[in-house]
Amino acid sequence: MSVQTETVSVKPLNFRRYKDGDHKPGPWQKQIFNADHSHKCPTYIQSTPPCQGSCPSGEDIRGYLNIVRGVEKPPAGMPWQEYAFRRLTEANPFPSVMGRVCPAPCESGCNRNQLEDFVGINSVEHFLGEYAIANKLAFKKPDFSSGKKVAVIGGGPAGLSTAYQLALRGHAVTLFDERAELGGMMRYGIPGFRTPRHVLDAEIQRILDLGVEARTNCRIGTDITMAQIRTDFDAVFLGLGAQSGRGLPVEGAADAPNCVTATAFLKAFNDGRLHHVGKRVVVVGGGDTSIDVATVARRLGHIDQVHESDRPESAIFGHVAHDVASVSAKQGAEVTLTSVFAIDKMQASKHEVEHALSEGIAIRGGMAPVCVVRGPDGRATALRVIRCEAKIVGGRLEIKNIAGTEEDIPADLIVSAIGQAVDFTGLEEFNNGKGAVPADKNYQVQPGVFAGGDIIRPHLLTTAIGHGAIAAEGIDRFLRGEALDKRPKIDVHAFDMQRKMIEKGLSIGTVKEPIHGTDKSNVAIHNFDNRSDRYVISHKELFLGHFNYTPRVRRNVTNLTAEEALGNFDERLQALVEAQAQAEAKRCMSCGQCFECDNCVVYCPQIAVFKVPKSKATTGRYVDTDYSKCIGCHICHDVCPTGYIQMGLGE
């Protein structure tokens, strides 16, 4: 067993402001002397950074990273860790869970990738989630009640996110879930060595402590009718999830008892029913779920003497195993994962693929299933595959098989991890005929009924959390009798300048006459415009030359060999410590918002850009412009690392 930092191969990039042939910079004086040709002066534009634009739950990532790094100060008496946690959880109430398992599309979108490596957003989120649990931070209950009641059907990430957002708005929420415990796929789909159950329980309890009622072991359509729900509640959210797996669509799969779905496999494991697997396990997939199945199978291993009722498929389908299954000596399982895509094109997270390979799991890319080979007893003995070339064309998967390349992979258990489906039993009225719910852009299915999560589109946990927040906003408007707003182009929780000014005791006046600049007036915020709902800032609008090469601070990860994985269900990922989290947050380039570097003040030749007096300053309002001195030379814009200063005033 070895403990090391996350392994990522990074090739340092050099920022180049000039093209080939430009061996020296030109004089800025030329721009200054020709400045009278320009009518544009600085204006301060808050944009969405690509990390937030890439985050399906819409976290204010830049905001909480600026708090961690010390740019934005917390209110008096509040630790910065708590302030950052509260900013983060405005969008996502599961920072400790998502800091572990989210594949972090935010990091793929990070502009810092243009320099050397992305900011470890996931690791900072992990740190803040752990701090909140250790310090027993609770969400603040609203001091009012709307008198409205909402039924949330489904206790997974979408349903819990919706319940959380609605409870904060003062609505009475009742969660219905058919299972004994809440969490959905976070509990029944992800193994505990990736999501420790005490962490999940703590973050769910924090939501319930807002006054959310939970009715578990209760299925809508069976234990209680939808008609009764409509009678008892003012609005409904459908967050059923897609917890029915899709079987292999090949000959022999449906009739082989030891050919099962990934969701059934993982549920049996997480319920504590599955104690071992066959000697040879074949997983078909390529996403994170298939990796979860493969790594669980590797840990469970197999036993030689198996009673008929102790076969793994018996446990998966709900039978209780004999004691011998628990006490027999286990041996490692031979696990093979097949995917139609090449390994480097698989949808699974790269680091999860690396873990699987290090644990001895054979991953075979470019392989498509042909049929399930069955023995005389009807059980699967092998999966027949064929080499193939797969690609996405126009949003559709195209697979071209290579004739004559078929082969059989021996198997005692075959697990299909090729997708999931929604079980509409008792709720058939909402099925659009394609296994999903038809909803508008606000996730409204019909007046008073909203939906989100996998029932809309099977995707990431963080996507379901984002759906819940959007649906909750729509439900709140519906309950208030307000028309649903048009969805913004970019769904993010953005930094609120006016809220920050109020927090500091500052105020802005009322506009009473036409104005052409706010440097001399308090009726607005220094020609500030928040465009976070419609504009994602590109790295091309930043001054990347401001930033030095700084390697990413990585979390420690426990890597196991094939032998060490057997029976090892300990967590593999260790959270950053405080100093590491702060150091990593400092790598954030604060794209689209001032981070107080002083470049514009230092380089302005007319002394037109100046620091706002401390008594009037706050985050985002660090500098201002005296437009009577500004000559439109654009230098402040050129040297602004974050792209916060744009040349637009006067257009």
Q: What pLDDT score does 9 carry? A: 47
| Percent of the chain whose predicted confidence (pLDDT) is above 70 | 88
CATH superfamily of 245-419: FAD/NAD(P)-binding domain (3.50.50.60)
pLDDT digits (tens, 9 = 90+) for 35-46: 555 568 888 999
Both tokens assigned to 427: 């709720």
pLDDT above 60: residue 15 = no
pLDDT in tens, 503-559: 888 877 665 555 555 666 666 667 888 999 999 999 999 999 999 999 999 999 998
How much is the average pLDDT of 14-33?
57
Region 149-243+422-480: CATH code? 3.50.50.60
289 has pLDDT over 70 = yes
149-243+422-480 and 245-419 share one fold: yes
Nearest C-alpha neighbor of 554 from the set 195, 124, 52, 132: 124
Mean pLDDT over residues 124-140, rounded?
Answer: 98
Over 70: is that where the pLDDT of 412 sits? yes
Determine the Cα–Cα distance for residues 604 and 38; give it in Å rounded to an integer: 16
Structure token pair of residue 84: 């950052």
pLDDT recorded at residue 16: 54
- Please state, rounded to an integer, the average pLDDT across all residues of the chain: 89
With 90 as the cut, is the pLDDT of residue 111 above it?
yes
Mean pLDDT is lowest, of 279-288, 305-314, 350-359, 507-516, for 507-516
pLDDT at site 648: 79
User: Of 22-26, 117-121, 162-166, 436-440, which gets the smallest average pLDDT?
Assistant: 22-26
For position 386, what pLDDT does the model report?
A: 97
Binned at pLDDT 50, 70 and 90, residue 23 comes out as low
CA dist., res. 634 & res. 631, Å (int): 9
Distances (CA, A) of 108 to 49, 83, 114, 296: 12, 26, 11, 27
Q: Let me know how long the chain is.
A: 651
Q: Where are the domains of the chain?
A: 2-18+25-136+493-649, 149-243+422-480, 245-419
* Portion of the chain with pLDDT greater than 90, in percent: 69
Q: How far apart are CA 383 and CA 399, in angstroms?
A: 18
User: Quick one: tokens of 445?
Assistant: 């299915």
Residue 314 pLDDT class (50, 70, 90 cuts): confident
Mean of pLDDT values over 306-329: 63
The lowest-confidence range among 3-17, 58-72, 404-418, 474-488 is 3-17
**Per-residue pLDDT at 562:** 86
What distance in Å separates the CA atoms of residue 551 and residue 8, rounded to the nearest whole number? Answer: 11
pLDDT in the model for residue 322: 46
**CA 281-336-384 angle, 5° bins:** 80
